[in-house]
Amino acid sequence: MRVLWFLKRLSRMVRGQSLRRLAFPLTLLIVAASLGLYLLLAYSLANDPRLVPIAFQEAKSILLVTAHPDDETLFFSPTITYRRDDANVKRSLKLRRTGRQATKISEDRCVVLDIAELQDNPKQWWDGDMVKDLVSSYKEKWHVDLIVTFDHGGISGHINHRSVSAGVRKYIQSTPDAPAAYMLQSTPLLRKYSSLLDLIPTTIPFAWRILKALLTTPLGKEVEHNTVHDVVPLAAYNNKALIVSSWKAYRVSRAAFSQHDSQYSWDRSLYLVVSRYMWFNTLAKIA
């Protein structure tokens, strides 16, 4: 009975004015936690193979498969700016005009496929075999060793995005020697527009990896200070990735999007700040 009385009293305390008093410190705590996670993941752990798999760190030719001219900046910015300054990486985009100068992607690696069956149409499901064959041809042409595309939700739910994802998955699952391929993960609408605040729920599935990255050294690297080696092979961490843009990389992404003159409106300007996809990407490997 005393326990029940205590719970009732506690419930009354957190109502009304008490709850209002808690709102401000709770908000500060959430903001501080988000900023702390951002600094940790964008700088200290930005290249840890437990969070960014070796496939991203060692790829020499990366193929990004999208559906529309602004997809690469609106959704994939953290991924395409990762290793932006590495001269050994060739990144390729299959789309129309892009901010290639800002992202350091050469013009000959940016391709628009003006095909009648693959036109922007929110009611048309693109042919999976056609997408599969196109991906295959560019994989051979550019010796691609990493592919990145949408997941089955297409981030915005656009049917063209989803059909591109299906076509790439069809290629991966039917090609024994296909390179590693990752899908950008879709999130619910509220989280999509929560900016850095969404790092809190995003990092929950990565919590054990983050803890390991803080306390241990990955296999294959020399142990420093008082840390110990992580006994888990790096291949065990290849199933998903968390890539967080530094402030410099974020500014590069904004500069890239500014080159899409026809797309740059007030609501898109707001998107560049509030969208989680401008700040970080979570990706899952296609089995």
Q: What is the CATH number of the domain that holds 79?
A: 3.40.50.10320
DSSP assignment of 71-82 equals: HHHHTTHHHHHT
pLDDT of residue 192: 97
More reliable by pLDDT, 70 or 34: 34
Does the pLDDT value for residue 276 go beyond 90? yes
> Is position 233 within any domain?
no
> Is position 191 within any domain?
yes
Of 12-16, 37-41, 156-160, 272-276, least confident by mean pLDDT is 12-16
> Is position 11 within any domain?
no
Q: Which range, 12-21, 50-59, 115-124, has the best average confidence (pLDDT)?
A: 50-59
Nearest to 105 by CA among 130, 142, 68: 142
> Is position 131 within any domain?
yes
More reliable by pLDDT, 91 or 30: 30
For residues 84 and 104, is the Cβ–Cβ distance under 8 A? Answer: yes
- Give me the number of domains the chain comprises: 1
Condensed to tens digits (0 to 9), the pLDDT of residues 101-144 reads 445 677 777 777 778 788 888 889 999 999 999 999 999 999 99
Instruction: Please give the C-alpha separations between residue 105 and each of 6, 99, 114, 254, in angstroms, as whole numbers.
Output: 63, 8, 20, 15
> Is position 187 within any domain?
yes
For residues 169 and 250, is the Cβ–Cβ distance under 8 A? Answer: no
For residues 93 and 68, is the Cβ–Cβ distance under 8 A? Answer: no
Of 48-52, 148-152, 204-208, 218-222, least confident by mean pLDDT is 218-222
- For residue 109, the enclosing domain spans 48-214+238-285
Condensed to tens digits (0 to 9), the pLDDT of residues 166-222 reads 999 999 999 999 999 999 999 999 999 999 999 999 999 999 999 999 999 998 888
Confidence of residue 19 (pLDDT cuts 50, 70, 90): low
Does the pLDDT value for residue 99 go beyond 60? no
> Is position 252 within any domain?
yes
> Is position 109 within any domain?
yes
For β-strands 180-184 and 280-285, DSSP reports them as: antiparallel
> Is position 31 within any domain?
no
Residues 6+ apart with CB under 8 A from 63: 92, 94, 135, 138, 139, 142, 144, 146, 147, 148
